[in-house]
């Protein structure tokens, strides 16, 4: 897994609540057998019309906003367990998603792919959206080690919470699977006791 | 302090606890399908590691399969490739596959229970969020991402923090024409689409105690639609009777001991939950959804509520509705009866009971998609097939079908579809399609009338 420690970059605001994984990557694009290329179809039906022309008022097609950070409305990533949603976001280039609430499975999938979900309070999210309206190119600093988000241009600074185990994984690029494989003896012992 | 049903099952599956971190949770059964498994098999290949416990995995092809001419090669190249890849992976790793052409093939959450694979007290996972269905048996069952599918392949375990507990109690007796689907749509409408995030739900009270296993599966299936990873119902005689005699159920000799253990699973009377909600069966009527998430539900008689929230407005605009509208009487052209929520034999019995001797409205395309080959056979054996055909319904072969429209079963843009599935997200049933979630009874009634009606008023 790609490591994440600190990022200084601009962001893209997606001011919609309850963005479900069917919007992030519609089911008809889940037919691949590898993890690559899903970024092309990220937010497909919001991004392109029926004739595959870009829909100009969708935020990813608006040249005003660019960046590696996605700022999204409450309850981002609800719906299906498809990890393709996380793959689509990382393949497109996003490194961080900031929202006031994340759906459970999406959050886990993001963390397993080096995509940092940062949960902030609803009023903080609204402050961020306002800051971006005033200055679309405002820079963010996301520091995982110190667990804070900053927008230096407006003096905005907030701390965020993250599970300490997951933080260690992200900073070092560790996968859960390696940890589990290293614990195989414990797992086999558990099986043996249960079957005894 | 007493333990909840959830505590009992979780605690008995903890292999180890990390300090300040997640638990290593042992997984009893792993269900896989063609869409979310190929990249997980690829991880094994990259790391050159085997599947640890292939006998604890069951595979089927469901998400991507056509519902017509399943004996022919799949026309869509990508789908064909994905289904072929599943077969190759299962062969290589010695995993039992109930693929196309097998008499056990079907939607993963229909075949697990009907084959007796799903049992109380188990931990079960699948790369599909509706794995919560299996909680109807008093098992901890939840959807996982593909990285986690690979973890279970490699170690039969997952690293997870224990979720919080929620109990939803519904007491009283459901009115005639009110079905389990209405109960869960009502609960989600009351609590909201993110209310269960971070929780595992236990459904308790008379309504669930008196519900069939099929109904309990419908309820637990939709737990994820309020954000909960899973939902559970305490195992009881209804559960034991359902399991007995099924293909992979415990043998008669084993069953008695198993039942004794299963009877110890229900929550202790002094168990404490992190959150509790309580509803009255009397307040629940036939439900439908008007928006683009399952929490946007109302009684068939009710008006669409008002809100200035932009996302709410966007949702209504997509659906072509206004605040204050009533959906009763809304003309519809498509009806879909199927999906892991409502494609079991009981759903089709309810549907056929209502339509016997009636004909669907001329303008309506009505699709019946059984959840499994076994359900499809049962439909014919019980004579329901003739009833559906005489009423003008089209019966297809098993699969996920128009629930997520990965195959050719799509609803055209702009059309309303009254659907027994679980998600009314934008484009879920095809780009531009407008989904109205409902019970099988409300759905067939809409097919007959060509519009949405209140079944309790007819």
pLDDT tens-digit map of B110-164: 999 999 999 999 999 999 999 999 999 999 999 999 999 999 999 999 999 999 9
| CA atoms of A118 and A40, how far apart (whole Å) | 24
Supply the pLDDT for residue B457: 85
**B377-424 tens-digit pLDDT:** 999 999 999 999 999 999 999 999 999 999 999 999 999 999 999 999
Q: List, in sequence order, every residue forming a beta bridge with B276; answer none if it has no partner.
A: B167
Provide the ipTM: 0.96
Q: Distance between the two ends of chain B, CA-based, in angstroms?
A: 49
C-alpha to C-alpha distances, B282 to B183, B226, B354, B457, nearest whole angstrom: 11, 22, 23, 16
B23 three-state secondary structure: strand
DSSP B430: S
Please report residues of A whose CB lies closer than 8 A to that of B224.
79, 105
Tell me whether A119 touches chain B (CB under 8 Å).
no
Which band of pLDDT confidence, cut at 50, 70 and 90, is reported for residue A1?
confident
Digit-coded pLDDT (tens) for A7-65: 999 999 999 999 999 999 999 999 999 999 999 999 999 999 999 999 999 999 999 99
Cβ distance of B425 and A79 shorter than 8 Å: yes
Tell if the CB–CB gap between B36 and A81 is shorter than 8 Å: yes
Could you read off the pLDDT of B337-391 as tens digits, one per residue? 999 999 999 999 999 999 999 999 999 999 999 999 999 999 999 999 999 999 9
Q: Which residues of A touch B18 (CB under 8 A)?
A: 165
Query: Nearest C-alpha of chain A: how many angstroms from B125?
Result: 11
Task: State the DSSP code for A154.
Answer: G
- Alpha-carbon separation of residue B71 from B66, B76, B91, B231, B304 (angstroms): 10, 14, 20, 36, 45
Helix (H) / strand (E) element for B438: namely none
Average model confidence (pLDDT) for chain A? 96
pTM: 0.97
Q: In the predicted model, is pLDDT for residue B88 greater than 90?
A: yes
- A36 CB within 8 Å of a chain B CB: no
State the average pLDDT for chain B. 97
Closest Cα to residue B156, out of A7, A128, A189, A38?
Answer: A189
Q: B433 with B440: CB under 8 angstroms?
A: no
pLDDT at residue number B11: 97
Question: What is residue A73's three-state secondary structure?
Answer: coil
> Contact B147/A175, CB-based, under 8 Å?
yes
Q: How far is B109 from chain A (nearest CA, A)?
A: 14
Q: pLDDT tier at B85 (50, 70, 90 boundaries)?
A: very high
- CB-CB under 8 Å, A73 with B150: no
Contacts of B373 (CB under 8 A, 6+ apart): B102, B103, B104, B105, B106, B398
């Amino acid at each position: 897994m790609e490591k994440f420690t600190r990022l200084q970059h601009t962001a893209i605001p997606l001011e919609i609540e309850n963005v479900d994984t069917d919007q992030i990557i519609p089911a008809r694009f889940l037919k691949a057998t590898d993890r690559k290329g899903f970024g092309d179809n990220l937010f497909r039906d919001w991004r392109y019309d029926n004739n595959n022309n870009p829909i100009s008022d969708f935020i990813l097609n608006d040249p005003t906003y660019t960046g590696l950070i996605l700022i999204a409305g409450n309850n981002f990533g609800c719906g299906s367990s498809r990890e393709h949603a996380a793959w689509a976001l990382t393949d497109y280039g996003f490194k961080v998603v900031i929202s006031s609430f994340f759906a459970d499975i999406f959050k886990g999938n993001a963390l397993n792919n080096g995509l940092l979900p940062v949960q902030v309070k609803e009023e903080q999210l609204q402050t961020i959206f306002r800051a971006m309206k005033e200055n679309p190119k405002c820079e963010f600093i996301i520091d995982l080690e110190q667990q804070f988000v900053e927008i230096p241009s407006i003096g905005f600074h907030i701390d965020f919470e993250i599970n300490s185990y997951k933080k260690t994984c992200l900073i070092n690029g560790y996968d859960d699977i390696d940890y589990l494989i290293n614990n195989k003896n414990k797992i086999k012992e558990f099986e043996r006791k249960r079957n005894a | 302090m007493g333990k909840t049903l959830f505590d009992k099952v979780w605690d008995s599956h903890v292999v180890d606890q990390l300090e300040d971190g997640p638990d290593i949770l042992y997984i009893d059964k792993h269900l896989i399908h063609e869409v979310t498994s190929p990249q997980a098999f690829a991880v094994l290949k990259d790391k050159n590691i085997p599947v640890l416990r292939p006998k604890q995995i069951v595979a089927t092809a469901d998400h991507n399969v056509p519902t017509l001419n399943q004996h022919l090669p799949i026309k869509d190249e990508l789908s064909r490739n994905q289904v072929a890849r599943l077969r190759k992976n299962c062969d290589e790793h010695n995993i039992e596959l109930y693929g196309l052409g097998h008499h056990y093939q079907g939607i993963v959450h229909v075949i697990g229970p009907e084959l007796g694979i799903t049992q109380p007290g188990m931990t079960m996972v699948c790369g599909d969020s509706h794995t919560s269905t299996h909680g109807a048996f008093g098992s901890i069952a939840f959807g996982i991402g593909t990285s986690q599918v690979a973890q279970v392949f490699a170690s039969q375990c997952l690293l997870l923090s224990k979720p919080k507990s929620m109990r939803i109690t519904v007491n009283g007796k459901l009115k005639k024409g009110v079905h389990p689907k209405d109960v869960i749509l009502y609960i989600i409408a009351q609590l909201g689409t993110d209310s269960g995030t971070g929780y595992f739900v236990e459904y308790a009270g008379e309504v669930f105690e008196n519900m069939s296993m099929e109904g309990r599966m419908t309820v637990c299936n939709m737990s994820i639609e309020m954000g909960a990873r899973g939902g559970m119902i305490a195992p009881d005689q209804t559960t034991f009777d359902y399991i007995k005699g099924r293909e992979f159920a415990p043998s008669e000799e084993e069953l008695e001991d198993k039942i004794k253990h299963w009877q110890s699973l229900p929550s202790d009377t002094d168990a404490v939950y992190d959150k509790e909600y309580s509803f009255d069966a009397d307040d629940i009527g036939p439900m439908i959804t008007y928006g683009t998430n399952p929490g946007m539900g109302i009684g068939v008689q009710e008006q669409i509520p008002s809100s200035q929230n932009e996302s709410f407005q966007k949702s209504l605009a997509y659906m072509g509705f206004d605040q204050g509208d009533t959906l009763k009487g809304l003309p519809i052209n498509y009806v879909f009866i199927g999906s892991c929520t409502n494609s079991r034999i009981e759903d089709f019995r309810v549907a056929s009971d209502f339509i016997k001797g009636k004909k669907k409205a001329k303008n309506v395309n009505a699709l019946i998609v059984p959840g499994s080959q076994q359900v499809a056979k049962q439909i014919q054996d019980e004579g329901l097939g003739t009833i559906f055909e005489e009423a003008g319904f089209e019966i297809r072969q098993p699969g996920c079908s128009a629930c997520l429209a990965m195959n050719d079963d799509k609803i055209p843009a702009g059309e309303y579809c009254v659907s027994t599935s679980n998600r009314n997200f934008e484009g879920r049933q095809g780009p531009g399609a407008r989904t109205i979630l409902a019970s099988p009874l409300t759905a067939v009634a809409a097919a007959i009338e060509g519009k949405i009606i209140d079944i309790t008023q007819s």
